[in-house]
Structure 1
């Protein structure tokens, strides 16, 4: 598996700098997984450009389904009212699939008073570098990817959110929260709200997090393999039982378990070759060291032979689920029992 390239943050950093200095450009393309940051900085642009009470006259929005270049041109021609600028937001329109020449003509002559933002939310942004339009967007505007944030930035942000609720959280507890609930900020906001309301003391504990946070599926499956590593089959079976009771499809659970076992196998190989967490992070494209550290800790409790066999048996079970018509739950439970019994092999 080739390592993932590090995301380019230059456009994102420039946007932050420009907004601090009050320099809002004429043309932006906002895209990326981190919807919270995208919406936050779109709100910052609105706040910078639109006087309070005048948004109705100076803010123009259009959805991708309703978009046509003629309508956009009409919005561009609308002069600002009691304001220096107008803001046009186009939601979920693929600029490379329509009339590119007509769109380029509008973008080429954007007035200084216009700020035009193409927002990609439900559709993926894929630039066609071969087109003149792509070169024009790069020359006249800024394509800003809002990527998932790194561990350090997320930990700082989580700490600030808890402080706003009159709570404090340690670095390790914040990392655990990210591991348990994922690293998308919109989801973390709701989890922070639940934990902050539940906690009875100023300092947030891991027990507070476990009590009310909703873990992502990958984290729950990790708890299951961790229980196997600890020799606690009852706990592993209980976790699987809870997942099946929540009506998670066995094939989906097996897919997540398969990924977890492959990661565990590579972690064990890294230990055998005296490689550290940095190697594991690069191999799996992890943005945070915490899950890599957890994997390395867990892998130390398994033999290399067990890890290899676990990956093979997971693949064989996947094939059986898809080709034999056997009951998926029974196959998954049987695999779990086999892994637990042969843990020391």
Structure 2
């Protein structure tokens, strides 16, 4: 099992199916579904059924390394399992990889890691928030772990193509077909979250089995899955572009009927128009993806298509209108729902101006 390079999800999955466990694992990144899957594989190989309470110890530190009792940790990594093949010591959200370590702290951690006993597995689980900066791959403690033949795996959000392949593989396994449009809609409405998409797929598979279906299309996804709020905001914007204020207000009513908070609706509208402005300036889906505002070609093309309905000046005016609406609400000068209605009327008037 020698090798100092950071592993991929696929490589570690294969290794866990064919090899003995390593002493140290670090699972880190933004994609909770993949982290949970690999954690489950490690638990299943390390522990005998029903022995988790005896042979596993969990330290949940909430990214506060000061919460860790080092004496307890040293005792746990030196104590063998009672019944299971391995003793499992699981450190969750230590936060130790999110900061630079001084020489003394690095030496202390190196000493701890070197004392992990035979038959013991030390598992670090470091989930990162969506807006949280990724851990540096050259972090000194990660280098130490790799030097001790530990496995370091970064598990970040999957690309659109990776998600399409993953969804397609699940449908093939269940002997079903799904249209690309429906698969892309799943990715969009669940914001590329594999955990959320998996929950939706479980519902789809059960329904398809019950109804003896062989293929899934967008209409069925719309019927079975949560509403695509981004799609509703796009529809609202289409209505504004067409000068149909009544239809735009109808979409607003639908969102309010679903108990979406007015400020959240405003944030979605404002966010979309900022992205439309960027799309108008960048002009191609490739440039939009490279800008970082989306990783989805499906969403990038939707932005481009809708941006064509407005001039650059109109989009700038609409973004400013969203900003002013937010100020009015937060200053208490207008009720939130009334402010949204006024905003849509104002934006409809802007869209109706000669471009």
Per the normalisation by structure 1, the TM-score is: 0.83
Q: How does 1:81-160 map to 2 (within 5 A)?
A: 81=82, 85-95=86-96, 100=105, 102-121=108-127, 133=141, 135-137=143-145, 139-140=147-148, 141-160=150-169
Q: Distance in 2 between matches of 1:232 and 1:142?
A: 57
Q: How does 1:1-345 map to 2 (within 5 A)?
A: 11-12=8-9, 14-22=11-19, 24-52=21-49, 55=52, 57-64=54-61, 67-81=68-82, 85-95=86-96, 100=105, 102-121=108-127, 133=141, 135-137=143-145, 139-140=147-148, 141-198=150-207, 200=211, 201-215=213-227, 217-271=229-283, 276-345=284-353
Q: Distance in 2 between matches of 1:9 and 1:287?
A: 24
Query: How many aligned positions are there?
Result: 334
CA contact (8 A) 1:303 1:344 kept: no
CA contact (8 A) 1:31 1:125 kept: no
Q: Which residue of 2 aligns with 1:5?
A: none
CA contact (8 A) 1:127 1:134 kept: no
Q: Distance in 2 between matches of 1:257 and 1:321?
A: 15
Q: Distance in 1 between matches of 2:225 and 2:146?
A: 42
Q: Distance in 1 between matches of 2:195 and 2:92?
A: 19
Q: Matched residue of 2:80: which SS? A: coil
CA contact (8 A) 1:267 1:280 kept: yes
How far apart are residue 127 of structure 1 and its match? Answer: 5.5
Q: Matched residue of 2:351: which SS? A: coil
Q: Distance in 1 between matches of 2:30 and 2:233?
A: 23
Q: Matched residue of 2:91: which SS? A: strand
Q: Deviations over 1:156-188 (max 9, x none)?
A: 222233344443212222012211222111111
Structure 1: any 5+ residue segments left out of the alignment?
Answer: 1-7
Q: Deviations over 1:284-309 (max 9, x none)?
A: 34222110011111112222232122
CA contact (8 A) 1:181 1:219 kept: no
Q: Distance in 1 between matches of 2:163 and 2:119?
A: 35
Per the normalisation by structure 2, the TM-score is: 0.81
CA RMSD of superposed structures (Å): 3.2
Q: Distance in 1 between matches of 2:289 and 2:128?
A: 29
Change (3 A) 1:210 1:277: same
CA contact (8 A) 2:275 2:293 kept: no
Q: Distance in 1 between matches of 2:52 and 2:200?
A: 32
CA contact (8 A) 1:277 1:293 kept: yes
How far apart are residue 40 of structure 1 and its match? Answer: 0.4
Q: Matched residue of 2:96: which SS? A: coil
